[in-house]
Amino acid sequence: MMAMTTAEEYAEFGAREARGVSPAYERLALAVSRDEEVLALLDGLPASKRQPNLLFGVVRFLGGPVEDPAGFHEFTVANWPVIAAEMRARATQTNEAGRCAVLLPVLAALPQPLALLEVGASAGLCLYPDRYAYRYGDHLVGSGEPVLECAATGMAPPGSFPSVVWRAGLDLNPLDVTDPADVAWLDALIWPEHAHRRARLRAAAAIGAVEPPLLVRGDVVDDLPALAAKAPEGATLVVFHTSVMYQVPAPRRQAFVEVVRDLPGHWIANEAPGVLSYDRLPAPPDGALYNVLALDGTPLAWTRSHGQAMSWFA
Ligand SMILES: C[S@@+](CC[C@H](N)C(=O)[O-])C[C@H]1O[C@@H](n2cnc3c(N)ncnc32)[C@H](O)[C@@H]1O
């Protein structure tokens, strides 16, 4: 299959990812897909550094306009050297605490206490499933902020929190919740209209900053066994990952599956279908984009990307 041109990538992003989710990014992606000057600048970057989410996040991070395509064009062309340098240095590392809402039912049902090890942890905000509050339909679990809303079908909401005695994360580029610049980058990665996600990021980062997790710079395959070996005895080791494997080349994903299956404890995956292979999957609930939640390789539920909904089928 021929690789998409940069123009096609932006047009596709606007039509498939941003439509119905972010009118500003839909408009902007379409405008960039027709903007010969910005496309030529993007094509001077390595292919892996041209994505809409990265460009738009960097422009937001630098204080540029993303709501107005003409202003965006002007800002991008005028500030290209600094934008290009940031795009080369940074990666899309959106850290969405909301994904804990789909992990919680699985975590609560495992033998307690738990030693959590997240691969592709970003700043580690998904390592605090026991510290957030949740609303599954009308059912509230826990108290305080943030409250993670999840429209769940086919399952009973968890009746208790997991007991977590250890939390560790592995990432090629761990971000630090106590560093305002890292939190500002995470904020810039949130799409413009998603004020509720921005508030959730601030609340989750405040929780993480009180007791920062052990975050190790490393690769999901090469460095996983050594970090897993640090988990305390007497706790159930749970290796998990959400929205990470699409960034890992296919042969490395296979190598990761082999490594994780050799570890003691359990493995939770929450990834796009097709990124990890499953023998049988039912049809998804509708035409929206879903992830597959799986425990030890057995698929359990369809989940929406920010944890806002789950449809349990196991
Ligand atoms: C989209 S973010 C998701 C972060 C977090 N799991 C969440 O759901 O909020 C993906 C993360 O995976 C990390 N990552 C990608 N490839 C990796 C690899 N080979 N080894 C370790 N981390 C990786 C990236 O650096 C990034 O922080």
Residue 229 gets the label, from left (phi > 0), alpha (psi -120 to 50) or beta, of alpha
Measuring from each residue's beta carbon to the nearest atom of ligand 1, which residues come in under 6 Å? 91-96, 99, 119-122, 126, 170-173, 219-220, 242-244, 247-248
| Residue of 92, 116, 125, 171 with the most ligand 1 atoms within 8 Å of its CB, for mutation | 171
On the question of pLDDT at 302 being above 90, the answer is: yes
**The pLDDT value given to residue 1:** 52
**The pLDDT value given to residue 3:** 79
Q: What is the mean pLDDT of residues 240-259?
A: 96
Between CA 308 and CA 171 the distance in angstroms is: 24
Domain boundary assignment for the chain: 6-89, 97-312
Taking only the tens place, the pLDDT of each residue in 63-117 is 999 999 999 999 999 999 999 999 999 999 999 999 999 999 999 999 999 999 9
Taking only the tens place, the pLDDT of each residue in 200-229 is 999 999 999 999 999 999 999 999 999 999
DSSP-derived pairing of the beta strands 266-271 and 291-295: antiparallel
Q: What is the band of 299 on the pLDDT scale with cuts at 50, 70, 90? A: very high
Ligand 1: which residue has its CA nearest to atom 23?
A: 120
Fold that domain 97-312 belongs to in CATH = Rossmann fold (3.40.50)
**The pLDDT value given to residue 253:** 97
**122: DSSP letter:** T
**The pLDDT value given to residue 310:** 97
How many angstroms separate the alpha carbon of residue 158 from the centre of ligand 1? 27
